[in-house]
Structure 1
Amino acid sequence: MSSRIAESSDRPARTARLSWERVRARRLRRHGLAAPLADAGPAGAAAAMCGAHAQVLSAAEMSIGLRTAGTTRVDVREALWTEHSLIKTFGPRGTVHLLPARDLPMWTGALSALPAGANPMPPDVRMTPEQTDRVVAAIAEALAGAELTADELTEAIAERAGAWAADPVVPAFQGMWPRWRQAVATAANRGALCFGPNRGRKVTYTAPARLLPGFRPAGGPEALAELVRRYLYAYGPATPQHFAQWLSAPRRWAAELFASLEGELQPVDADGVTGWVTAGDAEAGPGSEADPDAGARGVRLLPYFDAYAVGCHPRETVFPGRAAERALAGGQAGCFPVLLVDGVVAGVWHQRRSGRRIDITVEPLGELTSARMRELEAQAERIAEILQGVPRLTIGPVTVGPHA
């Protein structure tokens, strides 16, 4: 990407300078990890981090609860299933997220405008673009007035698109899913599908428009531009390559997208590494060099795939030295819950529940001072409050592997 991306037509962009300490401080504040977000409920917290990863719902509940004052898992579930201020759907990287309902038009408009990636399925399993369109249309029609389990939706899609869509050909969890399942994220990105409340142990799907009357995806170009702005506010300074990794999108496409926003972005030098923020965002406000109280401090326990750990780059500034060896899995962030000290990963942790008892084991990578230990104890109490249990904190090795 050209170094002149943030220039106006008649004057060069000024490169701002921030230390990584200040960068981490602004990210922590904007994520609600330095202090709870003021007047923000669950939807506000999800918006601040550009979506809460929710493949494991309890992890999303912790991510949101840690960023708000007094929020528990009950509050998150009420926002999701009663108020519908949160929507459970497929978000960045094709993974399950909780997204703010008010932002769903932007998200669906942006995600549906991403270039199609390579289909990893064998040739005899893949659906053609035309078949994908037929399946998405069938999903939209079937869910327009219903909440359906996967099996019920399979029957409905087969009736509308053809029996081929129900062929059990997609390998999944030591079994086979019907062919249409490879299009489920596409359907969600196009605004045809989201998750409904579980029916017992079974997942259900429904149409976003059932939960949000008048819902329509926003236009692609406008939605993508807004998503860049939101991402840079939460994770900047960042490069197009970081944005591409966060979305699981092509790097060249991301570079072209950033270039199309010429005049809106500004370069920032962070201790010799150049990234981008929205124009003017480096000069003032929380976490900037102009802020006399910019050095955020504190201990946090972040759950699996917390947005801060996954979205902040460069990796080595968040997972320095031994932290990369201990808390990344094949270079991937989020596979371990992490101990965060002053915005930097400083250990891993694990929690196990038995009734109301929540055993929290923390493995620091270095010695914690007595002041840090008090903060850690407070974090364990907060985690237990969010999950509505009673904590028991242990300092020692975490023996479970990633995703355990």
Structure 2
Amino acid sequence: MSPSVVAMNPTVEPALEPTVESRTTAGRPAGVPRLSWEQVCAARLRRHALSAPAPGAGPADVAAALAGVHAQMLPAAELSIALRIAGATRADVRTALWEEHSLIRTFGPRGTVHLLPARDLPVWIGVLSAIPSAPSSFPKDVQLTPDQTEEVVRAIADALRDAELTVDELDEAVADRTGPWAADPVMPAFQTLWPRWRQALHLAGMRGALCFGPNRGRKVTYTGPHRWLPDLRPAEPREALAAVVRDYLLAYGPSTPQRFAQWLTVPVSWANELFTSLAGEMRRVEVEGVPAWAAPGDLTAPDEPPRGVRLLPYFDGYAYRVGNQPPGLLYPGRAAERVLPGNFQVMLVDGVVAGLWHQRRSGRTIDITVEPLVELTAARRRELDEQVERVGEILEGRPRLTVGVVTVGGHA
């Protein structure tokens, strides 16, 4: 896959200098580097361009460095990316998405909506087509058969070959190409019933038959990624899986098969087998005494410990949580009970979750409430003020900060 933001700036990669055991101790293999949580945390902040904006990076470079950006709420994804690029605004992300097509919005890891670099889409399609499919949660009489599923995916690809369709228009197009069974309103969803074929909507995106097009007013549209990437072909599965594991470890490592399984939503047994098959392409390490895997040559980090106040928008904090384990270290103290159970926008202090925040827009005014869970020193308050100003700049509005209790629930 494409190089990460870190790789584009090698001058900021002094040696991590982990402690290396020269002999076996308490069952530990000789020569295994031992890393502290502080070292790992500092490295992750740098990789995510949160210790400092990524020099010379564009939106697609940031999405590559994060192994995809969660984009269920597109404004949150725009903020996630722009926060990591000096001087960028949401308009720059929209240009990359809808004009340059260097970003593609589609169904990615965990079957959820992501912004993925267009140059990496062949690898992602190769991976998402190769992972085990989860069993359907619908009753037998609602489910698509395997043959029907394949027929629907082909119909979607054909309908979107040269078009941008709303989901209602796609209902008709798929039924025309398959049969009335595809339009049967049998799929429970949001207190209503959807047509049967929509069970395959996510799968079509993961297979490369579908991606998101620009909104038509307030309506979402879908189109075929081949319109923008005519040479799009899935990468060979084994090479694709190796590339995604490497990029995952660069973004969130050192890590374990169990955490990778949670990040990609695959069976742990399958992830264990994958990591075993790639053992020669990874390096064993220990983080606070826990065995883990790192990408080759990835034992680098800034000289300084993790520092800084950062505001992460919706789903950015979720991705940071899913990738950056264990939660006991990432959510210390009150954060474990106040923030961890919900999907809040989070405040990082020195690389760990130390607060939550909420924004509400009225015209050009953006009211931002931040609830700290640690003491805000004078230096931290100055950094918070800077972050709030930066959020306002990215969202092209006038921010107004209140330090107090966030009274809305997660994802509000």
Structure 2 partner of 1:378 = 386
Equivalent residue letter for 1:376: L
Structure 1 Cα separation of the partners of residues 30 and 289 of structure 2: 17
Indicate the percent of aligned positions where both proteins have the same amino acid: 66
Inter-CA distance 19–163: structure 2 relative to 1 (3 Å threshold):
same
1:288-347: per-residue Cα shift (whole Å, max 9, x none)? xxx5x2413100000111032332111112112311111122xx6xx0000100110001
Equivalent residue letter for 1:30: R
- The answer (yes or no) to whether the contact 1:46–1:99 under 8 Å persists in 2 is yes
1:354 paired with 2:371, answer no
- The answer (yes or no) to whether the contact 1:238–1:275 under 8 Å persists in 2 is yes
1:267 paired with 2:279, answer no
Match of 2:332 among 320, 340, 343: 320
SS in 1 for 2:332: coil
Equivalent residue letter for 1:385: E
Query: What is the CA-CA distance between 1:23 and the residue it aligns to?
Result: 0.2
Structure 2 Cα separation of the partners of residues 41 and 176 of structure 1: 41
Match of 1:205 among 222, 234, 237: 222
Structure 2 partner of 1:310 = 322
SS in 1 for 2:201: helix
1:144 paired with 2:161, answer yes
Structure 2 partner of 1:168 = 185
- The answer (yes or no) to whether the contact 1:59–1:304 under 8 Å persists in 2 is yes
Equivalent residue letter for 2:327: R
Structure 2 Cα separation of the partners of residues 66 and 381 of structure 1: 11
Structure 2 Cα separation of the partners of residues 261 and 149 of structure 1: 41
RMSD between aligned residues? 1.2
Structure 1 partner of 2:145 = 128
Structure 2 Cα separation of the partners of residues 323 and 65 of structure 1: 26
Query: What is the CA-CA distance between 1:174 and the residue it aligns to?
Result: 2.4
Query: What is the CA-CA distance between 1:402 and the residue it aligns to?
Result: 1.2
Query: What is the CA-CA distance between 1:162 and the residue it aligns to?
Result: 1.1
- The answer (yes or no) to whether the contact 1:14–1:266 under 8 Å persists in 2 is no
1:222 paired with 2:239, answer yes
Deviates more, 1:200-209 or 1:171-180: 171-180
Q: Report the TM-score, using the length of structure 1 for normalisation.
A: 0.92
- The answer (yes or no) to whether the contact 1:19–1:270 under 8 Å persists in 2 is yes
Structure 2 Cα separation of the partners of residues 248 and 14 of structure 1: 32
- The answer (yes or no) to whether the contact 2:345–2:356 under 8 Å persists in 1 is yes
Deviates more, 1:235-244 or 1:170-179: 170-179
Query: What is the CA-CA distance between 1:270 and the residue it aligns to?
Result: 1.1
Query: What is the CA-CA distance between 1:13 and the residue it aligns to?
Result: 7.4
- The answer (yes or no) to whether the contact 1:362–1:397 under 8 Å persists in 2 is yes
Structure 2 partner of 1:296 = 306
- The answer (yes or no) to whether the contact 2:262–2:322 under 8 Å persists in 1 is no
1:341 paired with 2:349, answer yes
- The answer (yes or no) to whether the contact 1:318–1:344 under 8 Å persists in 2 is yes
1:346-384: per-residue Cα shift (whole Å, max 9, x none)? 011100000000010000112210100000000000111
Structure 1 Cα separation of the partners of residues 84 and 30 of structure 2: 34
Inter-CA distance 29–72: structure 2 relative to 1 (3 Å threshold):
same
SS in 1 for 2:130: coil
1:45-75: per-residue Cα shift (whole Å, max 9, x none)? 1111111111111110111011111111111
Q: Which runs of 5+ in 2 are unaligned?
A: 1-28
Structure 1 Cα separation of the partners of residues 307 and 238 of structure 2: 38
1:36 paired with 2:37, answer no
Structure 2 partner of 1:4 = none
Structure 1 Cα separation of the partners of residues 190 and 103 of structure 2: 28
1:190 paired with 2:198, answer no
- The answer (yes or no) to whether the contact 1:140–1:207 under 8 Å persists in 2 is yes
Structure 2 Cα separation of the partners of residues 402 and 125 of structure 1: 32
Query: What is the CA-CA distance between 1:165 and the residue it aligns to?
Result: 0.9
Structure 1 Cα separation of the partners of residues 185 and 304 of structure 2: 55
Q: Report the TM-score, using the length of structure 2 for normalisation.
A: 0.91
Match of 2:84 among 57, 62, 67: 67
Structure 1 Cα separation of the partners of residues 102 and 314 of structure 2: 23
Structure 2 Cα separation of the partners of residues 390 and 171 of structure 1: 42
